[in-house]
A and B are shown apart, each in its own frame.
Chain A
Amino acid sequence: MNRLLLAAAALCFLLSFGYTLFALGAGKFRPARFNLLAMLGGFAAQSAYLYLRGLEVKSCPLHTLFDLLIFLSWSITLIYLIVGPAYRLSLLGAFTSPLVLVLTLIALVLPHPPASPTPFANPWVEFHAALSIVAYGSFGLASVAGVMYLLQERQLKNRKASPLLYHLPPINDLATANKRLVGLGFLLLTVAFAAGFISGLPVGGLKFGASGLIWALYGGILLIWRIHALAPRRIATLSVGVFAFALLLLPGIHYLSLQRP
Chain B
Amino acid sequence: MEIRERFAVQPHELDSVLDEIRGIDSLNEAVVLSTCNRVEFYTASLCPERARVDLEKWMERRAGIRPPLYCHDTPRTVRHLFRVSCGLDSMVLGETEVLGQLKQAYTHAAGAGTTSRHLNKLFQNAFRVAKNVRTHTQITRGSTSVGSVAVELASKIFGHLQGRRVMILGAGETSERTARSLQSRGIQSVIVSNRTFDRAARLAEEIGGMAIHFDHWHKAFHEVDILISSTAAPHPILTREKLEPMMRERADRPLFVIDLAVPRDADPAINEIEGLYLYDIDSLQGIAANSRQIREQEVQRCEQLINHGVQDFVGWMRRLHQGAEFSIFDSRFSNERAAAE
Contacts and interface: CB of A to CB of B under 8 A. Distances in A.
Given A166-B141, A175-B252, A233 B274 contact: yes
Nearest to B156: A170
Contacts, number: 61
A70 to B, nearest CB: 35
Interface stretch (A96-104, A113-121, A153-161): A153-161
B279 A159 contact: yes
B148 to A, nearest CB: 12
Interface string B267-280: 00001001101110
Interface in B123-164: 135-138, 141-142, 153, 155-159
Contacts of A152: 156
Given A231-B274, A232-B252, A161 B291 contact: yes
A233 to B, nearest CB: 6
B156 A228 contact: no
Interface residues of B, number: 27
Interface string B251-289: 110100000000000000001001101110001001100
Given A28-B138, A231-B274, A171 B291 contact: no
B275 to A, nearest CB: 5
A178 to B, nearest CB: 12
B252 A30 contact: no
Contact of B153 (A27, A156, A172, A234): A156
Most B-side CB within 10 Å, residue of A27, A161, A171, A173: A161
A173 B138 contact: no
A172 B157 contact: yes
B311 interface: no
B252 A156 contact: no
Interface residues of A, number: 26
Given A175-B252, A232-B252, A161 B158 contact: no
Interface string B53-82: 000000000000000000000000000000
Contacts of A165: 156
Contact of B158 (A27, A159, A170, A232): A170
B300 interface: no
Nearest to B274: A231
Contact of A228 (B157, B252, B271): B252
Interface in A189-235: 225, 228, 230-235
B155 A170 contact: yes
B286 to A, nearest CB: 8
Nearest to A230: B252
Contacts of A30: 135
B290 interface: yes
B156 A156 contact: yes
The 4 A-B residue pairs with the shortest CB-CB distance, nearest first, are A228-B251, A231-B274, A170-B159, A159-B283
15 contacts: A152-B156, A156-B157, A156-B277, A157-B277, A159-B287, A161-B287, A169-B159, A170-B155, A171-B156, A171-B157, A172-B157, A175-B252, A228-B252, A232-B254, A235-B252
Interface of A: 27-28, 30, 152, 156-157, 159-161, 165-166, 168-173, 175, 225, 228, 230-235
Given A161-B142, A172-B157, 16 more contacts: A27-B141, A156-B156, A156-B277, A159-B271, A159-B279, A161-B291, A168-B156, A170-B157, A170-B159, A171-B254, A172-B158, A172-B159, A175-B252, A230-B252, A231-B274, A232-B254
